[in-house]
Amino acid sequence: MGRFEGGVLVFELIQSGGWLMVPIIACSILSLAICLERFWVLQKKRVAPDNLLSEVWMRVRSGEMTPERLQMIRNESSLGQIMVAGLNNSNHGREIMRESIQEAAYHVMHQMERFLNSLGTIAAISPLLGLLGTVIGMIKVFAEIMLQGTGNANVLAGGISEALITTAAGLSVAIPTLVFHRYFQRRVETLLIEMEQECQKLVEVVHGEREVDFE
């Protein structure tokens, strides 16, 4: 019974907020979907798995790095995608190998930052939608005051309620969305730095500029 009453209350609040609650709710759904998708995609094991560098070098050194194995490594993680790009051009010299790694890294970075601009946009427009609802609600209040005076408290309360509900809804969407937007940006930066370090080690080891030490 409590859940039913809670659902009715939520529905009444949404209805009281007016038509601007529709885009605010749409923003909340889109924000949630992006956050869940980014949490899944930006898992460390899917981006930069531990010990991948040592595994790759072991296979290269033992001559077990076949085209099939390269394709498998490339498909398993973002770091693998970058490393395979470097290995495919390792015979052309250190600089060409580094350039191949950088080109692959730009592509991976674009994939990792996918939807983050949309998340930032949602964080920016949600409070503006709430503010617009506030303005519309207050316009209705003053319009009713002009027509009926201040005697009809129910009409005035309805306009004020619409203004406050949309503001609260917009902020409720914007605040967590902004937090997650900053979190994902920081996570992408951290993972990119880690992948850059691993790829730098690979270049140096392949061209004999570094002792084998992947700890």
- SS3 category, 192: helix
Secondary structure element (H or E) that encloses residue 51, with its range:
none
Cα 189 vs. chain centroid, distance in angstroms?
Answer: 12
What residues have CB less than 8 Å from 156, skipping those under 6 apart? 141, 144, 145, 150
pLDDT tens over the chain, length 215 residues: 445 454 455 566 666 667 888 899 999 999 999 999 999 999 998 999 988 888 888 888 887 778 888 889 889 899 999 999 988 888 887 888 889 999 999 999 999 999 999 999 999 999 999 888 888 878 877 777 777 666 566 666 666 777 788 888 999 999 999 999 999 999 999 999 999 998 888 888 887 655 555 55
Whether the pTM exceeds 0.85: the reply is no
Cα 175 vs. chain centroid, distance in angstroms?
Answer: 14
Domain ranges of the chain: 2-206
Identify residue 142 by its one-letter amino acid code.
F
DSSP 57-81: HHHHHHT---HHHHHHHHHH-HHHH
What residues have CB less than 8 Å from 110, skipping those under 6 apart? none
